[in-house]
Chain A
């Protein structure tokens, strides 16, 4: 049993790429669901658009990485418009149905056999297409900071960029939600007829929130594509969206730092449980008759699920939430 190693791996995961990707996705959901009350269950679709724009434009079409990022962001805007125009005038649940279906449409499209030459089918696209980004890497070797240890100079660089990006989005969210714009979207979340009766164009504000959150979600995909230098369609299944929601609720919806802290804790717990179980099984402390090493992957999700249930029961407002606000729902 090497607890030191377990902690190093877990703490490194807290700041690692996966945490950043899901923090970005959850930051987008926070604008949509947390502040505006839009049930976007298609965040995976927005992320897939970002990721595939990068991979297709660079690897398949041989264009510049910067152009591909720009296309990814524009793609998210267009996707938001397509989803929002028919649904945002309707009740909230329609958006949920349409978004979850649309995200699946995107995933099934990019993994389809007939479009193999553009999207690479179920294997996705792999290649060294993010060279332009890594050419700016100022680190010539992997950095380590206390218990946090990165594998390579590349990983160090993209992680730093990721956290700067998160910082900027957190700052933008904070500025927006304390502005009169934030006041309007919060009023829509609570009672859109009240905002309407006060002369607010509810549809327009919902559209803005959907698109802004979607663009942030597409950044998660863009980041993932650059970090891994590969895209796989099944990474963008509904599971991606549900993890992002879990993270948002864990951290506390409608809290500026909620998604970031939620993502850090979620991935810490997941990696910590996974690593601990692996070592417990490997050293024979947990015998094979109870748990085999190939079952750990599933069991850690069960334990995370249990932890989340306990959280919802004992702290429904999330880590940062304000209990008083929840109490007001009961009136």
Chain B
């Protein structure tokens, strides 16, 4: 019953985010009505190679925004820059009211903008539950002077564990809680990493290819989890190659190619954009395009029936 009430309440949250985007024009760098993250003139090059050269990116609060693009488009580098794991050669970016340039990665995470990795970084030698507990913020027991006195932090540890177990149940990892994380499959690691990121109690979560290497059944449940995040009011920015997944869950799609944002807009329109098709398939394509285009639409039909 409560779950139903929550769903109907949250329907309006996600619906509002989507509705707000409906009036936004589909052009690169366009300002969103309620921006949570704005990046401007981000430039990152490695020697002579320009990896990222983004004029402007704006992310709508409470939406699911997909970042797509062919291999080598600079998506992950851009992600690393935004999350503080890489330093750009130029540019500024703002999250809520915080200027993020020159902010350390851990501080950005503490502000509520947390990321996952393309190659999962679960801590293999720690149990699943310990992985989860690590995510919790502001733990008294993490201070060296308080750590030797369990009575000082055991109460908080119980709350953290409680929260961790709730999340593990939600992500179907409860039975694995006492196993070493290193014994889990690739898909389970993706789930654990997402659940662990949620332990930080973020307002925005950045997922780097959450569906890569995950079997189709688990993909469906991952997609469901990501939609749930939006319904809880979180903002999601994710990199993905699986176009069906992108079409299925995202409210807004940003397309990168050769370090630049070449197009953005709602999923249905952006995938028909000429610049996007050119970027993926090359500007001089003939029959090949119609074939793959057909198979894409067929897939979609098969899914919807």
Contacts and interface: CB of A to CB of B under 8 A. Distances in A.
A202 B115 CA distance: 16
A102 B77 CA distance: 37
Contacts of A91: none
Contact of A325 (B106, B125, B141, B200): B125
B107 to A, nearest CB: 8
Interface in B101-153: 104-107, 109-110, 114-117, 121-126, 130, 133-135, 137, 139-144, 147-150, 153
B124 A328 contact: yes
A181 B141 CA distance: 6
A190 B142 contact: no
Interface residues of B, number: 42
A310 B109 CA distance: 46
A187 B143 CA distance: 15
A198 B135 contact: yes
A199 B105 CA distance: 7
Interface in A173-190: 175-176, 179-184, 186-187, 190
Contacts of B200: 198-199
Interface string B148-189: 111001000100000000000000000000001011000000
Interface residues of A, number: 30
B85 interface: yes
A114 interface: no
A194 B134 CA distance: 10
B270 interface: no
B148 A175 contact: yes
B283 to A, nearest CB: 38
Contacts of A196: 85, 104-106, 109
B123 A194 contact: yes
B37 interface: no
Interface of A: 172, 175-176, 179-184, 186-187, 190-191, 193-202, 208, 212, 324-325, 328-329, 331
6 contacts: A181-B141, A194-B121, A196-B105, A198-B109, A198-B199, A329-B124
Given A186-B126, A328-B183, 9 more contacts: A176-B148, A181-B142, A184-B134, A190-B123, A190-B124, A197-B85, A198-B200, A199-B109, A328-B180
